[in-house]
Amino acid sequence: MSTCQNCSTEFKITPEDAAFYAKVKIPHPTFCPSCRVQRRMAWRNDRSFYLRRCDRSHEKFVSIYPEKTKFPVYKPSEWYKDDWDARKFGQDFDFNRPFFDQFQDLIDSVPRLGIDIVHCENSDYCNYCGDDKDCYLDLAGEANENCYFCLYTKHSRFCTDCTFVYNSELCHECINCYDCYNDKFSMYLENCNDCAFSFDLKGCSDCLFCNNLRHKKYHIFNKSYSKEEYMAEFAKMNFGSYASLKNMISKWKENMKKAIHRDMYIMASEECDGNDIKNSKNCHDVYNVINCWDSKYLYDVLDAKDCYDLNYSLYKPEVACELISTLAMKFSAFNMASHYCDNIFYCDQCNNSSNMFGCIAINRGKFCILNKQYPEEEYRAILPKIIAHMTATKEFGEFFPTQMSLWGYNETVAHEYMPLTKEQAIAKNYKWKEQDRREYKPQTATIPDDIKQTTDGVTKDLLACESCGKNFHIISQELQRYRALNLPIPHACPDCRHRNRIFIRTPRRLNARTCASCSAPIKTPYSPNFPKQVYCEKCYLSSVI
């Protein structure tokens, strides 16, 4: 057993783990899996946006960095140009200083990509997105169209306030749904349409307040109705009233407690544990993964093979470790926001590169260290000496320290999954973003209860979140969507709506408990004190299919 150097928890390094670390040529981790993922996530800001000027073109644009930063910030169209080269900021490696101190010097000087959007059209207020069109506050999205306030939603259209929704259309407030159409306030739906306030349905349509159904139609609270009876009951429900909708949401959450909950939501996979796993094999302690093989400690990952400790990493990463916000990385470790690279270590925002160490913002590079270009022979000679130096300073094998993060801890996804108080963060020397009181002004208008009474003027009003008090606006496209769906204007800001969905989702850790049906021991994200029916796979399948 090993002892975490951060939280003192004991954790195990298995022979399979040791073989993986030997393959990647890195030492065994000193942090436990939980502390490792927290440290990585403290380097990703999804949701804090700033309007600032590009330090190259001086044009205003939306960025994840505020106006006054020590380092230059470029808008994407400038950052991706070929008429500048980050290697001009290269520096010699100083064997009298720790590596992370030298990397900090590089952070302070090299221009950074202000927001990570690629091939997006009319989607400026998005982040970590590719091929989006007409989207707003879509985060980690791909090939979406007219999607607003979504997270990790892929290949979808006209969706709002959705989290982990794939190949779907006209969905609202849905979580972990696949191939769905016109569903609202639902979780774990697959191939469903026109359902609302439901949990764990497959192949269903026209169902309300239902749980654990398969290939059913015209059901309310799991009771079958004729089409005429169902439509009559549906007509009684006033979706357009905010007061009525709040009551229905409350009923939905209570009704979910009565549902049968699978120990781990795993589909078409073998020898896997974690949660929300699809088409994968031999993956352990993984969450929200699809098409992954022989991997461990993955979070929001697609198509990985032989990888450990990845967050938000897509496009077939292979033999990689400790990555966050990356695409198509191979034989690499300890990297952030880098894409289509192999054999790179401790790099940030590097693309289409190989054989680099400790670099920032280099595109199509080879044999660089701290952004300095080396001949291949010299690179291969000095690199082992740098690794030996970092081993002596106890840096090699560690991800970038949270204290170096470019954002306040409460601006990062680490705070969403592992929240800290300001006092706790400051005690660890983490940064903290203070509230800007200019964002907490009184609301300028009263929102009508019913969407039918809501005029176009609401798009000009300054609204205040009923939960946190932060101001927000309704954009015109959003208002049109609420009218089309017959849903009222939300009274909570997008961030609080996002946090409410996090609260509904299952935690990303496994607990030991017993099956509520047969008492067999199971591993599940649900804690032993969780007051819901949690079944082992065998009992679950026999109960709902």
Single-letter amino acid code for the residue at 507 = P
Which residues are CB-neighbours of 68 under 8 A, at least 6 positions away?
Answer: none
Name the pLDDT band for 136 (thresholds 50, 70, 90): very high
What is the structure's pLDDT at 527? 87
What is the structure's pLDDT at 254? 94
Q: Is the pLDDT of residue 69 over 90?
A: yes
What is the structure's pLDDT at 517? 95
What strands, in cross-sheet order, belong to the sheet with 217-220?
A: 163-166, 172-178, 184-190, 196-202, 205-208, 217-220, 223-224
What is the structure's pLDDT at 391? 98
How far is the first Cα of the chain from the last one, in angstroms, to the nearest whole number?
Answer: 41
What is the structure's pLDDT at 429? 97
What is the structure's pLDDT at 182? 98
Mean pLDDT of the chain: 96
**Mutual angle of helices 376-392 and 99-107, in 10-degree steps:** 120
Share of the chain above pLDDT 70, in %: 100
pLDDT in tens, 381-421: 999 999 999 999 999 999 999 999 999 999 999 999 999 99
pLDDT in tens, 348-377: 999 999 999 999 999 999 999 999 999 999
Question: How many other β-carbons are positioned within 10 Å of the β-carbon of residue 126?
Answer: 26
Overall average pLDDT of the 209-218 stretch: 98
Report the alpha-carbon distance of residue 433 to residue 426 in Å, rounded. Answer: 11
Overall average pLDDT of the 243-259 stretch: 95
**C-alpha closest to that of 11 among 30, 38, 37, 25:** 30
Tell me the domain boundaries of the chain: 437-495, 511-544
What pTM does this model have?
0.95
Query: Judging by beta carbons within 10 Å of its beta carbon (0-12, 13-18, 19+), is residue 405 exposed, middle or buried?
Result: buried
Overall average pLDDT of the 477-495 stretch: 96
Q: Is the pLDDT of residue 490 over 90?
A: yes
What is the structure's pLDDT at 486? 96
Report the alpha-carbon distance of residue 106 to residue 406 in Å, rounded. Answer: 13
Phi, psi for residue 423 in degrees, rounded to 5:
-65, -40
Which residues are CB-neighbours of 151 under 8 A, at least 6 positions away?
Answer: 46, 139, 140, 141, 162, 163, 164, 498, 501
Q: Is the pLDDT of residue 532 over 90?
A: no
What is the structure's pLDDT at 528? 86
Phi, psi for residue 48 in degrees, rounded to 5:
-95, 115
